[in-house]
Amino acid sequence: MAPLLADPKEQQTDRTTRTDGGREPQPAVVRAGHPMEWSERLYRARAKSTDLIFFTTQLAIMLDSGVILSDALDAIAEQAGDAKFNLILLDISERVKGGDNFSKALTHYPRIFNSMFISMVKASEASGQMVEMLTVLTGYLNFEADTRKRIKSAMTYPVVMVLMAVAATGTLMFFVLPRFMRIYEARGADLPKITQVLVRCSRIIGNMEIMTALFTAVVFLGGFLYYGSQTVRGRRIIDGLKVHIPVVGTMFIDLFVTRSMRIMATMVNTGVKLLDAIRVAQGSVDNYYFQQLWSEVHQRIQDGYQLSESIMVAEGADLISPGIIQMLRAGEKSGRLGEVCDKVSTFYEKKLEASIRNVMTLIEPLMILILGGIIGTVAIALLLPVFRVSSVIAH
């Protein structure tokens, strides 16, 4: 079969070199036709959430209709709007046709298909419930996309406020303030104290050497924090702040519990072993403390504990409310653990939406208060010279 991903403009049939007009021989440009070489170039490629949702939805529908996996991948690739995503899907299709499992083919693109996605596909291959698992993945991806959209929408107003505040403050400091400075300096009068502070700030901002030094310091600090966050200690500090900050911490906890319970419900209901479900849940939460919690729960279940007992005695059990543990215990006794996990995930999904609304409701007045304080201070610092300018001129 002819390679699907070769570029006909660059593909050549041999590795010979050519000379042209006495110039030094140059190596021929070779575009390897094997899709695996393309995957190395596309390893760092990313996909839009809409493309990933479209892919998962269409694949579930086509597989449910009886289309074989490789044909479904080829058909979806033809409909892909993004050129890179098209190449990636064709590469995955070629790997599947070559004998690889679907989950193994996905592992070559970790920036598009995360560990949770791959683990759920792998579990569905073992249980034979791929259509059901893909349907759940579609719902999960839609929920994540809607959550991000709500957060961005809620942050639009504060961002606009910040930009307007910066523009107003800059105009007052760099165009209005210098006029009063000249009037006062010509009369030998002193500006009010608060105005003098504002003048010093404007001079600092206008000094390129100082601003360059500050910018350099910020860059170094940002780099230090970034690389520090990649260490275990850094992750513990940052992730600890995420789950313990008032109001915001509740939102993160609800998010991680929703993910974990939804994944366990899906996998247990489709016949996947509980240990495998917990391992996938551990990979789905990008928080150190939740990952440690599920790791310890996994180990204790291997030692013979029930799920509810494992959570109760694990370090970080305070992240899971006692009510959830009681519900899980009841589900274990009745043999309906998957159904209970599904109910918990549905409840926490609604709780997460309420948490996001609470955070956004808190951010807006807080931004107004901070920006109002800054602009008010600048306005007072500029109005005081106005009130005194008549007496200064008379003097």
Quote the pLDDT of residue 390: 63
Give the residues across from 18 on adjacent strands: 26
13: Cβ contacts below 8 Å, ≥ 6 apart: none
Instruction: Name the residue with higher pLDDT: 391 or 344.
Output: 344
What does the pLDDT average to over 317-345?
88
Beta carbons within 10 angstroms of residue 395's beta carbon: 9
pLDDT higher than threshold 60 for residue 3: no
Taking the CA atoms of 191, 196, 198 and 202 in sequence, report the sign of the dihedral they define.
positive
Fold of 35-113: Receptor-associated Protein (1.20.81)
Distance of CA 55 to the CA centre of its chain: 20
φ, ψ dihedrals at 18, nearest 5°: -130, 155
Banded model confidence at residue 127, pLDDT cuts 50, 70, 90: confident
Banded model confidence at residue 42, pLDDT cuts 50, 70, 90: low
47: Cβ contacts below 8 Å, ≥ 6 apart: 55, 82, 84, 85, 88, 112
What does the pLDDT average to over 334-338?
87
pLDDT higher than threshold 80 for residue 11: no
The CATH number corresponding to 147-395 among 1.20.81.30, 1.10.1450.10, 3.30.590.10, 3.40.50.620 equals: 1.20.81.30
φ, ψ dihedrals at 26, nearest 5°: -115, 145
Are the folds of 35-113 and 147-395 the same? yes
Tens digits of residue pLDDT in 139-166: 878 877 887 787 777 677 777 877 887 7
Mapped onto helix, strand or coil, the DSSP state of residue 11 is coil
DSSP state of 6: -
pLDDT higher than threshold 70 for residue 27: no
Question: Could you state, in order of their start, the residue ranges of all structural domains in the chain?
Answer: 35-113, 147-395
Which of 116-125, 128-137, 322-331, 385-394 has the least mean pLDDT? 385-394
Quote the pLDDT of residue 395: 58
Tens digits of residue pLDDT in 258-310: 888 888 887 788 777 888 888 888 877 888 899 899 999 999 998 888 888 89
Beta carbons of 171 and 179 less than 8 angstroms apart: no
Banded model confidence at residue 170, pLDDT cuts 50, 70, 90: confident
Global pTM? Answer: 0.68
pLDDT higher than threshold 70 for residue 40: no
Q: What is the mean pLDDT of the chain?
A: 78
Residue with tokens 């996947």: 272
Tens digits of residue pLDDT in 181-215: 777 677 666 777 888 888 788 778 777 888 888 88
Instruction: Name the residue with higher pLDDT: 36 or 328.
Output: 328
